[in-house]
């Protein structure tokens, strides 16, 4: 089976590890220990009826602060999820920094999905970042935009599916 490397990036505490655990193990674990080092998990995804690939999904872990280590993290990645936290305004701008840094480090363009995570908190706290603003930004960066909750599982599978279909050129090859 084909294997592709996918990376999950973004500022600290936006839910990267939670999203990965929700997708791979279908669980939400409260009180994560801070992830130490770079870790990856594997999951097989059916991206078209009877067509599957294996994803190696890398979690930047607690190394968000040690940006000089990033090159090997990005090496060979076929797609990326870039997260921010819908409940914390400043994570939207740090996510933008992440994206531009990623473009500087990587020598080729790869499919990217921007994720606004923690959508489950919106009914409680309201929208603090305009959806249209994020959508416009994503469009200008040639990225998809999706909103997820690692807590409830909303859109988590969809986000990985969207990215995988993008990576494998689904749509372009359809007749
Ligand atoms: P990170 O890997 O990006 O650093 P984590 O983020 O996955 O460690 O998550 C950081 C905190 O956000 C955790 O809370 C986690 O439970 C919470 N979280 C992650 N995803 C969601 C979500 O979709 N909804 C809500 N409501 N919370 C989420 P603690 O309190 O353990 O720091
Ligand atoms: Mg983490």
Q: Does residue 157 lie within any of the structural domains?
A: yes
Q: Does residue 175 lie within any of the structural domains?
A: no
What would the pLDDT profile of 58-116 be if each residue is shown by its tens digit?
Answer: 987 766 666 555 678 889 999 999 999 999 999 999 999 999 989 988 989 999 999 99
Q: Does residue 72 lie within any of the structural domains?
A: yes
Note the ligand closest to the C-alpha atom of 125. Answer: 1
Q: Does residue 174 lie within any of the structural domains?
A: no
Domain around 115: 3-167
Q: Does residue 54 lie within any of the structural domains?
A: yes
Q: What is the tally of structural domains in the chain? A: 1
In sequence order, the 6+-apart residues with CB closer than 8 A to the CB of 63 are: 37, 38, 69, 70, 73
Could you tell which of 150, 153, 154, 155 is best to mutate to test the pocket of ligand 1, judged by most ligand atoms within 8 Å of the CB?
150
Please report, for the domain that includes residue 154, its CATH number: 3.40.50.300
Instruction: Give the atom of ligand 1 at the shortest distance from the alpha carbon of 61.
Output: 2
Taking the whole predicted model, whether its pTM rises above 0.85 is answered as yes
Lining residues, ligand 1, CB within 6 Å: 12-18, 30-32, 35, 117-118, 120-121, 149-151
Could you tell which of 8, 9, 15 is best to mutate to test the pocket of ligand 1, judged by most ligand atoms within 8 Å of the CB?
15
**Cα–Cα dist 169/27, whole Å:** 30
């Amino acid at each position: 089976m084909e294997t592709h490397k996918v990376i999950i990036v973004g500022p600290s505490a936006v839910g990267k590890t939670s999203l990965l655990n929700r997708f791979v193990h279908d669980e939400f674990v409260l009180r994560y220990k801070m992830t130490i080092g770079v870790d990856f998990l594997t999951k097989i995804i059916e991206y078209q009826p009877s067509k599957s690939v294996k994803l190696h999904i890398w979690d930047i872990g607690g190394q968000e602060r040690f940006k000089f280590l990033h090159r090997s993290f990005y090496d060979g990645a076929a797609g990326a999820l870039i997260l921010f936290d819908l409940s914390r305004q400043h994570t939207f701008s740090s996510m933008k920094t992440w994206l531009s840094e990623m473009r500087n480090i990587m020598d080729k363009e790869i499919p990217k999905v921007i994720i606004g995570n923690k959508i489950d908190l919106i009914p409680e706290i309201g929208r603090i970042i305009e959806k249209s603003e994020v959508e416009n930004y994503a469009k200008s960066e040639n990225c998809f935009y999706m909103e997820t909750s690692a807590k409830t599982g909303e859109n988590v599978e969809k986000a990985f599916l969207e990215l995988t279909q993008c990576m494998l050129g689904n749509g372009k090859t359809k007749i």
